[in-house]
Structure 1
Amino acid sequence: MGAGLSCLATDDQKSAINTPSKLGLGDLPESCIALILSRLNPSDICRAARVNRTFRRASLSDHAWETKLPENHQILLQKLFISCNNNNINPQVLSYKETYARLSSPIRFAADTKEVWLDEGRGGISVAISWKGMKITGVDDRRYWTHISTHESRFQTIAYLQQIWWLEIEGDLEFEFPVGTYSVFFRLHLGRASSSKAPSGRPITYNGEKIHGWDIKPVKFQLESSSDGQHSVSHRFLDEHGKWVHHHVGDFVVEDSNSPTRLKFSMTQIDCTHTKGGLCFDSVFIFPCRR
C-alpha cells in the first residue's frame, strides 16, 4: 500500500519526502533547552548560553537555575541584604540567575567580620569568620599579639601570637544553613609573617624561629551545635610548619533550613606551666561536606 501511494505522489512531493528537513539546535523548544541546562553546573550553563539566541534565552530562565539555589535562598537574601541595610537590592524581583550571582559573590555581615558565599566547588553555602569576630584572650595587647596585613587572608589581616601563657579563642555564629552536613575548621600557620607587603600573588615568607610550646601540650578544639545537639572535642599537637593548615574541629548536621543553627567553637591551650607562641591565626571556616 505504501508503494502504491508513493507512485501517486508528484515529483515535488517525492522530493520533500526523500529530503530530511534541516533542523538545528535553535529549533529546539526553549523549555526543552532549559530542562537540559538545569542538569548542568553553573559554569556549563554560562558556556551553553553562547550557542545561539535560543540557548541564551533558556540560560536566563528560572527553570535552568532553580536547582542551583539553596532551598532557603529567600531567607538568605533577606538576612544578608535587607538586614545589612543594602537597600538598593529587592530580593523579591531578582531572577534565579541573579540570585545565584548575588549569593556566589562573598557577602560581608556582622560589621564585616563574617563572610558567606554560595560555593560552587563544594556544592553549598560556605562561611568564614575573621579573627576580628572572635573573642581572643589579650588580642589587643601588643605584648602578646600583633596584627599583620596580608593578601593571604580573605579579610586582608591576620593575628600573630608572639607569646602567651593562657591561649583562649572563642567564637559563635547563628545562621540559616541549608539542609546538609558541614565541617568547621580553624585556619592556622606556625611561624611569623616576615613580609606583609609582598606583591599580590607572591607567597609571604614566614619565620619559624619563635615557634615554641605547641609540642609540650596539645591544643583543645571544641564545637557545639544547636541543630543536632552535637558536642565535638579533639586534642591536637600543632606541628605542621611552613603552610596554612585547616584544623578540623567537628561536623554538624542541619535538618531544618528555615530555622537558624547556633554554633559555638573554640581553640584553647590553658596549661600555664609553659608559654607558647609563633602562631598565626586567620579565620574559622565552615564548609559543606563534599557530595
Structure 2
Amino acid sequence: MKPDITNKLPEECISYILSFTSPIDVCRSKLVSPVFRSAADSDTIWGKFLPPDCYDIISNSSSSSNQLVASMSKTQLYFHLCNNPVVIDNGTMVNSFGLDKATGKKCYMLAARRLSIAWSNTPNYWRWRHLPESRFSEVAELRQVWWLDVKGTIETKILSPKTTYVAYLVYKFATPRYGFEKKPVDLHVELEQSDAGRTFRVFLDPSENIPQFSRERGDGWMEVKLGEFFNEHGDDGKAICSLREVDNYIPKKGLIVEGIDIRPKDIR
C-alpha cells in the first residue's frame, strides 16, 4: 500500500498548493481526505480567488452590507458574493455585484434605472414601481408603446479580463400583456471598438408553436440571452447590450424589466 502523503504535508502547505488551482478544483479536493477538506476552507485559498478590488467595489454598497462584509472571513465573503450579489449605488450608476462560483470572476447586473429605455420617463408609456422579488428598489413596467428600445452599457475595465461574458435581459410579464407573441424583438451585444456583433431575433412571449428562447431563473425572473463578447484586457471601452423592435406598429404592453445581467459564460 502506498503511503498517504496528505498525512505528511502540513495543512498550511496543502492550502497554499490549492490556492494555485481554481474554485471548482478546491471544492472537489474536499473529497480527497479530511485533511484536504479542512485545508480547502482556508482564507489563504479564497482570499486569492477574490478580485483585487473586491472591497473597494463593496464600499459603494449600503452601510448594512458593508457591516456584514466586515464581519466575514474571506472564505465566507467569497460564497456570500456568489449567492447574494450586493447592490452598488455610487450616485451615478445602480447595479449589483457578485462572483461566479466556479471561477471567482466578476458578475454585474445593470438595474433598469441604469438602462437607456426610450420614453421611460413618460408615464403614459412606462411606469417605475417596486417589486419585492427584485434586488433593486425599482423596475420598469411597460404600459404601452409601439416601438421598443432598451439599451445597457458597461465599461469593460470593471469586468474580469480574458473572459467571455454573456449578457441577459432579466424580465417578466405583468397582467394583462400583449404584442410580444406577435412580433420578435432584436437582441444584440457589441464591443464599442470592435465588430458589429451578432443580432438574435426571438419572441419574448412565444406561443405554443414558437420555440422558447427564454428560461426561468432561480430568483423567479425570466432571462433571455442578448449576446456575448470576449473581454481581452478590459481596455475595449464599453460593451453595449440592446433590445429593439422598431419595425412595425404593433402595440406592446406588460413587459417588466429588472435589468441586464452580465456574467461569465458557463463553459462546464
Q: TM-score, normalised by structure 1?
A: 0.65
* 1:185 and 2:191 are equivalent in the alignment: no
d(CA) in 2 for partners of 1:85 and 1:148?
Answer: 21
d(CA) in 1 for partners of 2:54 and 2:236?
Answer: 11
Q: Is the 2:117–2:151 contact (alpha carbons within 8 Å) kept by the matching residues of 1?
A: yes
Identify the residue that residue 204 of structure 1 maps to in structure 2. none
d(CA) in 2 for partners of 1:131 and 1:96?
Answer: 31
d(CA) in 2 for partners of 1:281 and 1:58?
Answer: 39
> Cα distance 1:57–1:268, how it changes in 2: closer, same or farther (>3 A)?
closer
**Cα-to-partner distance string for 1:195-220 (whole Å, 9 max, x where unaligned):** xxxxxxxxxxxx2xx32222333211
Q: How does 1:1-291 map to 2 (within 5 A)?
A: 28-35=9-16, 37-38=18-19, 41=24, 44=27, 59-62=41-44, 64-65=45-46, 68-69=49-50, 73-75=51-53, 77-78=55-56, 80=57, 97=75, 100=78, 104=82, 106-107=85-86, 108-111=88-91, 113-121=94-102, 123-175=104-156, 176-178=158-160, 179-190=162-173, 192=174, 207=175, 210-226=176-192, 229=195, 231-240=197-206, 244-257=221-234, 259=235, 261-291=237-267
Alignment-mate amino acid for residue 143 of structure 2: Q
Alignment-mate amino acid for residue 177 of structure 1: L
Q: Which moved more, 1:117-126 or 1:240-249?
A: 240-249
% identical aligned pairs: 23
Alignment-mate amino acid for residue 138 of structure 1: W
d(CA) in 2 for partners of 1:148 and 1:136?
Answer: 15
Q: Once the 2 structures are TM-superposed, how far is the Cα of residue 261 of structure 1 from its aligned partner?
A: 4.7
Q: Is the 1:183–1:287 contact (alpha carbons within 8 Å) kept by the matching residues of 2?
A: yes
Q: Once the 2 structures are TM-superposed, how far is the Cα of residue 252 of structure 1 from its aligned partner?
A: 0.4
Gap regions ≥5 residues in structure 1: 1-22, 193-206
> Cα distance 1:142–1:61, how it changes in 2: closer, same or farther (>3 A)?
closer
> Cα distance 1:131–1:154, how it changes in 2: closer, same or farther (>3 A)?
same
Q: Is the 1:134–1:171 contact (alpha carbons within 8 Å) kept by the matching residues of 2?
A: yes
SS at match of 2:178: coil
Equivalent residues, number: 238
d(CA) in 1 for partners of 2:42 and 2:103?
Answer: 23
Gap regions ≥5 residues in structure 2: 208-214
Find the structure with the greater CA-based Rg.
Answer: 1
Q: Once the 2 structures are TM-superposed, how far is the Cα of residue 58 of structure 1 from its aligned partner?
A: 7.9
Q: Once the 2 structures are TM-superposed, how far is the Cα of residue 256 of structure 1 from its aligned partner?
A: 1.3
d(CA) in 2 for partners of 1:227 and 1:182?
Answer: 16
Q: Is the 2:24–2:102 contact (alpha carbons within 8 Å) kept by the matching residues of 1?
A: no
d(CA) in 1 for partners of 2:115 and 2:193?
Answer: 21
d(CA) in 1 for partners of 2:62 and 2:203?
Answer: 43
d(CA) in 2 for partners of 1:235 and 1:42?
Answer: 38
Q: Once the 2 structures are TM-superposed, how far is the Cα of residue 289 of structure 1 from its aligned partner?
A: 0.8
SS at match of 1:220: strand
> Cα distance 1:148–1:235, how it changes in 2: closer, same or farther (>3 A)?
same
Q: Which runs of 4+ in 1 moved over 6 A?
A: 54-58, 82-86
